[in-house]
């Protein structure tokens, strides 16, 4: 009740400041309240599966995002790193800079709530970083490892695609969605429970330029506003890559999970039981798809564990070995797939 009264007070302040508040649910485990402008809440919500409409629901914590009257323009001064983090020792506040321009700061209050100040427009990462920290620190996920993988729902079966960065996980995911009608669960990271159920990871998906070009997402290359996401590359750099037609570079677009599903004409959901696991890798040769022994499959999957960050560093999540020794085996099938990009899957008529 105390938590609800505190959130009610925050709601009243939000209304006075012409701000909005929403409560978001994570897989039925817990609720988190976020307060910001309607436009920023919409961008954050485009990457969190479920919003709670019942205003009497009590959240476990809140994320309060303050936005300026005037946003800062990022100056591309290449004498400085693209992204720098600094921790203020006196306040414990984590400060983010892009080049040398202040982007945002995040402070964790004594009660575990988050106070955020943003300095650039549409900064959905500010809310998602905090939301993920609630997830990673929640008791219901304490023994739930994170794996480097994408996950879809293919006709009621969970298909997990796991591998290193640039192995083709997202490209294969887009193919399964666009050409086989798979529903989207998660891109790039998945929480894996002991019964082999996969839970989505709340983040903005990133799709390689070449995959965007060869898929139904291609209109986004010339309409970045429609991605419903803040780009992690400079807009000028993206426009130059597109103008030069150099779309095989190592980079891509940030696109909200809602927009990807909408353009692939499929649905989204928060979790599914995993029935198949594919280890993809890019190869210039012929399309190759082979079955892997289950014992080898589980050992391989263990190599792709990811760090469950509890700090506020938004940069790449590092590798972390995991053990799946006591995880349910069932009749999960494992495969190894080699392919040369989205076109090779299309031309090869790949099916599962």
Domain at 146-347, CATH class: alpha beta
Task: Determine the distance from the C-alpha atom of residue 241 to the mean position of all C-alpha atoms in its chain, rounded to a whole number.
Answer: 24
Token pair 């589980």 in the structure block, residue: 298
State if pTM tops 0.75.
yes
Q: Tell me what the mean pLDDT of segment 189-211 comes to.
A: 97
Whether pLDDT at 93 is above 50: yes
Identify which of 219, 216, 190, 184 has the alpha carbon closest to the alpha carbon of residue 202: 190
pLDDT confidence of residue 286:
87
pLDDT confidence of residue 16:
42
Q: How is 284-323 classified by DSSP, letter by letter? A: SS--EEEEE-HHHHHHHHHTTEE----SS--SPPPB----
Question: Is residue 223 a contact partner of residue 253, using CB atoms and an 8 Å limit?
Answer: no
pLDDT confidence of residue 300:
98
Cα Rg of the chain, angstroms: 21
Q: Where are the domains of the chain?
A: 2-141, 146-347
* Dihedral sign computed on CA atoms, order 220, 223, 224, 225: negative
Q: Could you read off the pLDDT of 145-186 as tens digits, one per residue?
A: 999 999 999 999 999 999 999 999 999 999 999 999 999 999
pLDDT confidence of residue 313:
87
Give the range among 191-195, 273-277, 285-289, 337-341 with minimum mean pLDDT: 285-289
pLDDT confidence of residue 55:
67
Neighbouring C-alpha atoms within 13 Å toward the C-beta of 138: 21
Whether pLDDT at 1 is above 50: no
Q: Tell me what the mean pLDDT of segment 274-296 comes to.
A: 95
pLDDT confidence of residue 90:
87
pLDDT confidence of residue 149:
98
Judged by DSSP in three states, 336 sits in strand
pLDDT confidence of residue 18:
67
């Amino acid at each position: 009740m105390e938590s609800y009264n505190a959130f009610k007070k925050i709601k009243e302040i939000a209304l006075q400041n012409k701000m909005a508040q929403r409560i978001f649910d994570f897989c039925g485990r817990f609720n988190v309240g976020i307060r910001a402008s309607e436009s920023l809440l919409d961008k954050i919500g485009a990457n969190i599966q479920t919003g709670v409409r019942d205003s009497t629901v009590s959240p476990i914590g809140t994320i309060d995002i303050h936005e300026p009257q005037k946003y800062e323009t990022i100056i591309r001064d290449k004498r400085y790193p693209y992204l720098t983090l600094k921790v203020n020792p006196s306040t414990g506040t984590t400060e983010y800079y892009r080049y040398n321009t202040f982007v945002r700061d995040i402070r964790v209050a004594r009660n575990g709530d988050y106070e955020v100040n943003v300095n650039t427009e549409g900064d959905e990462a500010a809310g998602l970083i905090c939301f993920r920290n609630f997830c990673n620190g929640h008791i219901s996920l304490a023994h739930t490892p994170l794996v480097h993988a994408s996950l879809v729902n293919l006709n009621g079966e969970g298909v997990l695609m796991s591998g290193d960065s640039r192995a083709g996980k997202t490209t294969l995911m887009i193919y399964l969605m666009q050409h086989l009608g798979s529903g989207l669960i998660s891109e790039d990271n998945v929480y894996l429970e002991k019964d082999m159920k996969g839970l989505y990871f709340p983040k903005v998906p990133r799709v390689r330029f070449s995959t965007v070009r060869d898929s139904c997402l291609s209109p986004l290359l010339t309409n970045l506003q429609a991605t419903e996401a803040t780009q992690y590359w400079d807009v000028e750099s993206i426009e130059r890559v597109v103008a030069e037609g150099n779309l095989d570079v190592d980079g891509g677009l940030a696109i909200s999970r809602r927009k990807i599903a909408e353009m692939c004409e499929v649905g989204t959901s928060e979790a599914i039981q995993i029935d198949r696991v594919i280890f993809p890798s890019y190869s210039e040769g012929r399309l190759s798809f082979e079955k892997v022994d289950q014992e080898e499959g589980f050992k391989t999957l263990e190599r792709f564990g990811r760090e469950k960050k509890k700090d506020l560093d938004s940069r790449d999540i590092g590798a972390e070995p995991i053990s799946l020794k006591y995880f349910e085996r069932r009749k999960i099938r494992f495969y190894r797939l080699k392919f040369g990009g989205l076109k090779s899957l299309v031309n090869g008529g790949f099916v599962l």
